[in-house]
Amino acid sequence: MTARTSLDKDKIKFLLLEGIHPSALEVLHGSGYSQIETVKGALPEEELLERIADVHFLGIRSRTQLTPAVFEKAHKLVAVGAFCIGTNQIDLQAAREQGVVVFNAPYSNTRSVAELVLAETILLLRGIPAKNAAVHRGGWSKSAEQSYEARGKTLGIVGYGSIGTQLSVLAESLGMKVIFHDVVSKLPLGNAHQVASLDELLAQSDVVSLHVPELASTQWIIGAPQLARMKQGAILLNASRGTVVEIDALADALKSGHLAGAAVDVFPVEPRSNADVFESPLRGLDNVILTPHIGGSTMEAQANIGLEVAEKLVKFSDNGTTTSSVNFPEVALPAHPGKHRLLHIHRNVPGVLSQINQIMSDNHINISAQFLQTNETLGYVVIDLDARSSDIALEKLAKVPGTIRTRVLF
Ligand SMILES: NC(=O)c1ccc[n+]([C@@H]2O[C@H](COP(=O)([O-])OP(=O)(O)OC[C@H]3O[C@@H](n4cnc5c(N)ncnc54)[C@H](O)[C@@H]3O)[C@@H](O)[C@H]2O)c1
Ligand SMILES: O=C(O)[C@H](O)COP(=O)(O)O
């Protein structure tokens, strides 16, 4: 039997954009939700602004930009599922201010990215992209010139997180030496070792692979000066975010022959849909592998992401659990059979909990369970109580200064 919610499940509206895997639909249908609209691509902002107004749950991937303007129109929105790793496309602050919980899938596509990057490393070290292009044009230059094994080469990984560490292990199994740079001290896996600076990594590596998130501090960290520090004939791979590498500087380093090759999966500007034209100064360079942001796009990864994020949305909708949310205090909640559950989201200012409890006491409301978790800016209180008291409690709690949003589940 699926859990009940105060709003009938067939009135709770899901909008899933960007071709989210059908595994998500299976989870939602299996949990009793039937109002689910799916869209293959991302929506233009004007259309999103129009359609968001009556949506309770929104599913997106990396293309949909959720700006403050979108959240302003999203009066009914309670949660966003990012069916991917990155959440840089979402204004998390605006989401918090509206009391909208954001979930993602932090691990489901890491293996897919690591495998792609490793495959590209082997192809680029052998000069295969250029050879392939030449043979397609009728050329035939059989030669070992500029072709190398991966074994014994140094791979420099920038960002030693989930993807960077997977890549590290796979590359060592090929016999590569691995060094990495991270802003945090990390336990090295295998024989990898952390170097003190990005410059040191760039100077020592035959292959450099970038695996940092999109942040103000990672913007354009690879520009002309950093490319110049790389070894003559080195290779650069970027499957992280398009704002990490200055693309014109990379094109120059490739055209001058300073770099032997590159593989790029993410770009400063990416087409909105598969029907749009891709423009880049890297187009037409035979020693560059260009892929359309498909690092995490394998059947396995997408099916797992669909399950993982849909399950998080269902748990939040059914019982208020926020475990592994990227912008909310995390609360793992038990079932609440026979009770009503009040969710109270508020700004994290002193005195809110005491005011809530005063209201309960003044109105003789018996609390059967209470949970509180806060982060820097938000407080999340969950109260289980008798059905007969929930209307009055909801009404009073909504008036507590600092309240952002209240909901009842039963
Ligand atoms: N191409 C794709 O399809 C695809 C798929 C998945 C993820 N991604 C991108 O890859 C990124 C990394 O994914 P992850 O799961 O490994 O993330 P992660 O959060 O596990 O790891 C990121 C690492 O980067 C480090 N870091 C942050 N700033 C840094 C800096 N300035 N210099 C060096 N290190 C820094 C962090 O400390 C962390 O260890 C994601 O944020 C996403 O943008 C792309
Ligand atoms: O952040 C991610 O997981 C990747 O960039 C993949 O994004 P996508 O789901 O849009 O392919």
Average pLDDT of 94-109? Answer: 97
Atom of ligand 1 nearest to the CA of 112: 5
Match 């498909």 to its residue by tokens. 294
CATH number of 7-104+298-328: 3.40.50.720
CATH number of 329-409: 3.30.70.260
Q: Is the CB of 239 under 6 A from ligand 2?
A: no
Q: Residues 357-393: pLDDT tens digits? A: 999 999 999 999 999 999 999 999 999 999 999 999 9
Quick one: DSSP state of residue 364?
T
Quick one: DSSP state of residue 324?
T
pLDDT band, very low/low/confident/very high, at 3 (cuts 50, 70, 90): low
Residue nearest to atom 18 of ligand 1 (CA): 161
Q: Could you give the CA distance from residue 58 to residue 258 in angstroms, rounded to a whole number? A: 45
Q: Residues 292-318: pLDDT tens digits? A: 999 999 999 999 999 999 999 999 999
CA 397 to chain centre: 33
Q: What is the mean pLDDT of the chain?
A: 96
Q: Which ligand is nearest to the CA of 64?
A: 2
Atom of ligand 1 nearest to the CA of 239: 1
Average pLDDT of 30-36? Answer: 97
Atom of ligand 2 nearest to the CA of 82: 9
Pocket test for ligand 1, best of 62, 167, 181, 182 (most atoms within 8 A of CB): 182
Q: Is the CB of 167 under 6 A from ligand 1?
A: no
pLDDT of residue 51: 97
pLDDT of residue 25: 98
Q: Is the CB of 110 under 6 A from ligand 2?
A: no
121's CB contacts (< 8 A; 6+ apart) are: 150, 155, 171, 176, 207, 209, 235, 237, 263
Contact 95, 69 (CB under 8 A): no
Told to judge if 270 belongs to the known catalytic residues of this protein, a careful annotator would answer yes
Average pLDDT of 247-267? Answer: 98
Q: Could you give the CA distance from residue 367 to residue 82 in angstroms, rounded to a whole number? A: 34
Percent of the chain, pLDDT > 90? 95
CA distances (Å), origin 326, targets 91, 93, 100, 208, 242? 12, 11, 11, 29, 22
Q: Is the CB of 218 under 6 A from ligand 1?
A: yes
Classify the complex by whether its ipTM is higher than 0.90, answering yes or no.
yes
Told to judge if 395 belongs to the known catalytic residues of this protein, a careful annotator would answer no
Q: Could you give the CA distance from residue 288 to residue 309 in angstroms, rounded to a whole number? A: 34
pLDDT at 2 over 70: no
pLDDT of residue 5: 61
pLDDT at 245 over 60: yes
Q: Is the CB of 1 under 6 A from ligand 1?
A: no
Q: Residues 157-200: pLDDT tens digits? A: 999 999 999 999 999 999 999 999 999 999 999 999 999 999 99
Q: Is the CB of 319 under 6 A from ligand 1?
A: no
**Which residue in the list 21, 61, 111, 241 is annotated as catalytic?**
241
CATH number of 110-290: 3.40.50.720
| 86 alpha carbon – ligand 1 mean position (Å) | 8
Q: Is the CB of 180 under 6 A from ligand 1?
A: no
**Which residue in the list 56, 293, 344, 407 is annotated as catalytic?**
293
Atom of ligand 2 nearest to the CA of 105: 3
CB atoms within 10 A of CB 229: 15
pLDDT at 4 over 60: no
Q: What is the pTM of this model?
A: 0.94
| 61 alpha carbon – ligand 2 mean position (Å) | 6
pLDDT of residue 355: 95
Match 């170097």 to its residue by tokens. 195
Tell me, yes or no, if the two domains 7-104+298-328 and 110-290 fold the same way.
yes
Average pLDDT of 320-326? Answer: 97
**CA-closest candidate to residue 293, choices 275, 278, 308, 309:** 278
Told to judge if 136 belongs to the known catalytic residues of this protein, a careful annotator would answer no
Atom of ligand 1 nearest to the CA of 181: 33
pLDDT band, very low/low/confident/very high, at 1 (cuts 50, 70, 90): very low
Residue extents of the structural domains in the chain: 7-104+298-328, 110-290, 329-409
Q: Which ligand is nearest to the CA of 272?
A: 2
pLDDT of residue 274: 87
